[in-house]
Homo-oligomer: A and B are copies of this chain.
Amino acid sequence: MYTGGYKAGTEVKSLQLNDLIEIEQMAAQVIPKGGFGYISGGAGDEWTLRANRTSFDTRQIIPRVLTGKSMPDMHTTILGVPLASPIMVPPIGSHGLAHITAEAGTAKGAAAAGTLMACSTVSTLTLEQVAAASTGPKWFQLYMLQDVGYSRELLHRAKAAGYKAIVLTVDTTATGNREADARNNFKFPLQFGNLDIRGSGGDIHQLNSAFAMKMDPKIIEFIIKETGLPVIVKGIESPIDAKIAIAAGASAIQVSNHGGRQLDGSPATFTVLPAVAKAVNGRVPVIFDSGIRRGQDVFKAIASGADVVGLGRPVIYGLALGGWMGVQSVFEQINRELSMVMQLAGAQTVEDIKHTQLA
């Protein structure tokens, strides 16, 4: 599957984890340098990448201790999909960089963890292969392509394969300046399952040159018309864009800065979340990603307006280290943390978290 001698992870095992911080350095031992730089890095000076983490420190959770609440219940739903906890696998490209089972491993792990996974347009496997490997709920993520006809074909294939919603990524009309890739002279060492026109050996600029460079509300309408599926608009940091997306029929808003990989100097997502949530005003659910590593981060994001959060890089690190079982271990770890945080904060349910005031 790989070119250029690239070697991804091969093990399938449960992981002994203390947290989802140290897992990054554990994964760096398994994923080749170029791939690791691509996965872990951010754009430019990585200011936004760092701010995605440090912004959580700007708010605190005041424990409520005399509530009589116990044994938190983390179950929730998103667009009708039941989840074991409010944490899902957001769309992430090229899982094959991390593990030879690629998205099939992640899908199996997500299902085992009782959560849903979004399959990326730029997956290593074909969307049908990912669907076949998944026994849990799944969404398909679309990078709108310059080739509209092929975009339509992907949407129809996704619907046919059982994907229940489309995540439209809107923040990638240009490639972020991911300098680690340039320094590592990183070339993709593997094919893209859904994009047969692009062979391996290209860099990310070549890949992204296939993407539409213009994004407007009509694309949302186009997807709805073609599929009849709910559309999640991912990559929103502005309240104005949230309103535009909803007006165009979006079923959910995903607050994201692409994990700090696109526009360096854009705000941390946790910073803009309250304003976007206010603009959404409960009309559709809000999904949040970029920076989640801790149960307390999940809690803070939900207390700030999110309904569900996406957990990205740590899932890929778990995949690299232990295949589907590693993914499951990652979810066990963060779910254990979230449960502890809910208990200590006095929140019985996800709904309780939403009604918590942060300090």
A residues contacting B by CB (< 8 A) are 18-19, 21, 44-45, 47-48, 56-57, 60-71, 170-171, 173-177, 179, 182-183, 213-217, 233, 235-238, 240-241, 244-245, 248, 257, 262-267, 271-272, 294, 296, 299-300, 336-337, 339-341, 343-345, 359
On whether A63 and B216 interact (CB within 8 A), knowing A47-B57, A179-B18, the answer reads no
- How far is the CB of A240 from the nearest CB of chain B, in Å? 7
On whether A343 and B62 interact (CB within 8 A), knowing A182-B18, A272-B359, A296-B264, the answer reads no
* CA gap between A271 and B67 in the complex, in Å: 22
* CA gap between A238 and B67 in the complex, in Å: 12
Closest to A359 in B: B267
Please give, as numbers and ranges, the residues of chain B lying within 8 Å of A266 by CB-CB distance: 60-63, 344
- How far is the CB of A344 from the nearest CB of chain B, in Å? 4
Is the pair A343, B68 in contact by a Cβ cutoff of 8 Å? Answer: no
Is the pair B174, A344 in contact by a Cβ cutoff of 8 Å? Answer: yes
Please give, as numbers and ranges, the residues of chain B lying within 8 Å of A241 by CB-CB distance: 64-66
Given contact pairs A18-B182, A60-B271, A63-B257, a sample of 19 additional A-B residue pairs in the complex whose CB atoms are under 8 Å apart: A44-B294, A45-B294, A56-B265, A61-B263, A62-B267, A63-B237, A64-B238, A64-B241, A65-B170, A66-B215, A66-B248, A67-B216, A171-B344, A173-B344, A174-B340, A177-B340, A262-B344, A263-B341, A266-B344
Please give, as numbers and ranges, the residues of chain B lying within 8 Å of A359 by CB-CB distance: 267, 271-272
On whether A60 and B173 interact (CB within 8 A), knowing A65-B235, A70-B214, A214-B68, the answer reads no
Please give, as numbers and ranges, the residues of chain B lying within 8 Å of A183 by CB-CB distance: 18
* CA gap between A339 and B174 in the complex, in Å: 9
Copies of this chain, tallied across the complex: 4
Q: Name the residue among A47, A170, A263, A359 with the largest chain B CB count within 10 angstroms.
A: A263
* CA gap between A208 and B47 in the complex, in Å: 39
Q: List 8 A-B contacts (CB under 8 A).
A: A62-B238, A63-B237, A63-B262, A66-B248, A71-B213, A177-B336, A264-B294, A266-B344
Please give, as numbers and ranges, the residues of chain B lying within 8 Å of A71 by CB-CB distance: 213
* CA gap between A294 and B177 in the complex, in Å: 11
Is the pair B262, A215 in contact by a Cβ cutoff of 8 Å? Answer: no
* CA gap between A177 and B337 in the complex, in Å: 8
Is the pair A179, B19 in contact by a Cβ cutoff of 8 Å? Answer: yes
Is the pair B267, A60 in contact by a Cβ cutoff of 8 Å? Answer: yes
* CA gap between A294 and B44 in the complex, in Å: 9
Please give, as numbers and ranges, the residues of chain B lying within 8 Å of A300 by CB-CB distance: 265
Is the pair A263, B63 in contact by a Cβ cutoff of 8 Å? Answer: yes
- How far is the CB of A28 from the nearest CB of chain B, in Å? 18
Is the pair B175, A65 in contact by a Cβ cutoff of 8 Å? Answer: no
On whether A263 and B344 interact (CB within 8 A), knowing A57-B47, A294-B44, the answer reads yes
On whether A66 and B340 interact (CB within 8 A), knowing A264-B296, A271-B359, A296-B264, the answer reads no
- How far is the CB of A24 from the nearest CB of chain B, in Å? 14
On whether A213 and B343 interact (CB within 8 A), knowing A47-B57, A60-B267, A296-B265, the answer reads yes
* CA gap between A45 and B294 in the complex, in Å: 9
- How far is the CB of A298 from the nearest CB of chain B, in Å? 11
* CA gap between A217 and B57 in the complex, in Å: 31
Is the pair A263, B216 in contact by a Cβ cutoff of 8 Å? Answer: no
Q: Name the residue among A57, A63, A174 with the largest chain B CB count within 10 angstroms.
A: A63
- How far is the CB of A265 from the nearest CB of chain B, in Å? 4
